[in-house]
Amino acid sequence: MRIALVQSRLHWRDPARNRDHLADLIASEPGADLYVLPETFTTGFLGET
């Protein structure tokens, strides 16, 4: 099994941009069976108190 760890600077309050950026990174490195992504990249870190 080939595993790819994807790490990138995330964009605050812009989950769509995060998804697009990480999709581009994944597309640039095809062939992995599993891509491990940052835990909260889809939320944009909106959990303000």
For the chain, the structural domain boundaries read 3-36
What ranges in the chain are assigned the alpha helix state H?
15-28
Q: Is the pLDDT of residue 45 over 80?
A: no
Other C-beta atoms closer than 10 Å to the C-beta of 22 total: 19
pLDDT tens digit string along 8-29? 888 888 889 989 999 999 999 9
pTM of the full structure: 0.74
Radius of gyration of the chain (CA): 12
40 versus 6: which is more confidently predicted?
Answer: 6
Instruction: Quote the tokens at residue 20.
Output: 């697009």
In the chain, where do the E strands start and end?
A: 3-5, 34-36
Residue 32: predicted pLDDT: 96
